[in-house]
Amino acid sequence: MNLKTTLCCLTGLTFLTGSVSPPAQKPVLQNIREITTGENEYSSPVWSPDGQKLLFTDHHNDALYIKEVAGKSNVQKIKSGQGIGYKARWTPDGKGVIFYEKKAALTGPGTLFEKSINIKGGRERILTETTSTKANRTFTSKKNPSLKVYINPETLKLEAREGEGEPWIITPEDGQFYSPLVSPDGKNVIVNEGANMYLYSIHGNAKRKKLGIGLPTSWLPDGSGILTFEDETKDGHTISGSELYHVAIQTNAKTKLTNTPDKIEMWADVSPDGKRITFSDEKSGKIYVADLKFNR
């Protein structure tokens, strides 16, 4: 499936009298290195809160793996299960992983469990349990963990709620929205409608802004930009290529970070200090790390 066919930055303008804006900084990737070996294929890496480990899954989202970034440690498989790798994330303390697991029912929607698993002992804990037809994976930010953002599976609109409070709609427009990405400060969210990315204020106090084509996968820690990817296809079905991009939130400036026809780079994530990124090559199934630099 071509992500271009299935895929707003809200900025204030500051007028500085008598001042000159500094030249824009152009992002580049340096020192790209592979950190996985062997024949197994992996996907969708995510940095741990301390920037020392990576969490990733396989091409079918059916397993959870972790690996130390430094050194030559082996990949550690911590759990298997259908779909558990999709949008899995670290616990805030970095000692565990949060994932979703669905239990089917003979009738009705079944039960969606949000669980955590300790990466050392393997102990699991149920965080939430929902049987509603509106149940879906939720997204939040470090600065406001009680704020939950999610796609309503019945309406395909983006909604939010505080704790267990009443939800509100973020996307009033007609359309089918998917893949939300909450900003680090918890004030804005980027979401796809078709091939286009839009940035919304979560509390609906500004008009949405179009960011262009792509699938956003990670905010920079300071909220100044995002990482995206764009896939390519020759037959309309099989992905034949993909490259990584950086989009500046204030200016909408778009920079191509990779240009490798022999790889299919996707699912980039920025390290907590903003100095490195990780991504997967969906062609080989390898995980890579690279230094992220900004040059004038």
Domain that holds residue 73: 3-295
pLDDT band at 266 (very low <50, low <70, confident <90, very high): very high
pLDDT band at 5 (very low <50, low <70, confident <90, very high): very low
d(CA 218, CA 184): 10
CB–CB of 57/86 below 8 Å?
A: yes
| pLDDT of the residue at 235 | 66
| pLDDT of the residue at 18 | 40
> Residue 120, exposed/middle/buried by CB under 10 A (0-12, 13-18, 19+)?
exposed
d(CA 169, CA 161): 9
Residue found by looking up tokens 């973020």 in the block:
170
Element (DSSP H or E) covering residue 278: strand 276-281
Domain count, the chain: 1
pLDDT band at 225 (very low <50, low <70, confident <90, very high): very high
d(CA 169, CA 160): 7
Residue 144 has pLDDT above 90, yes or no: no
Residue type, 296: R
* Residue spans of alpha helices (H) in the chain: 3-6
| pLDDT of the residue at 296 | 75
| pLDDT tens for each residue of 45-104 | 999 999 999 999 999 999 999 999 998 889 999 999 999 999 999 999 999 999 999 988
Q: Which residues of 14-23 are buried (b: 16+ CB within 10 A; e: fewer)?
A: eeeeeeeeee
| pLDDT tens for each residue of 229-254 | 997 777 666 777 899 999 999 999 99
Q: Which residues contact 285 (CB under 8 A, 6 or more apart)?
A: 40, 41, 42, 43, 58, 59
CB–CB of 183/194 below 8 Å?
A: no
Give SS3 for 5: helix
Angle of CA points 76, 66, 268, to nearest 5°: 145
Region of 164 please: left (phi>0), alpha (psi -120 to 50) or beta: alpha
CB–CB of 286/45 below 8 Å?
A: no
| pLDDT of the residue at 238 | 74
Closest CA to 189 of 248, 249, 153, 149: 149
Residue found by looking up tokens 């070996």 in the block:
37
CB–CB of 255/27 below 8 Å?
A: yes
What does the chain come to in residues?
296
Torsion of CA 147, 152, 158, 163, to 10 degrees: -10
Q: What is the pTM of this model?
A: 0.88
Q: Which CATH number characterizes residue 270's domain? A: 2.120.10.30
pLDDT band at 23 (very low <50, low <70, confident <90, very high): low
| pLDDT tens for each residue of 170-210 | 999 999 999 999 999 999 999 999 999 999 999 987 899 99
| pLDDT of the residue at 106 | 72
Radius of gyration of the chain (CA): 19
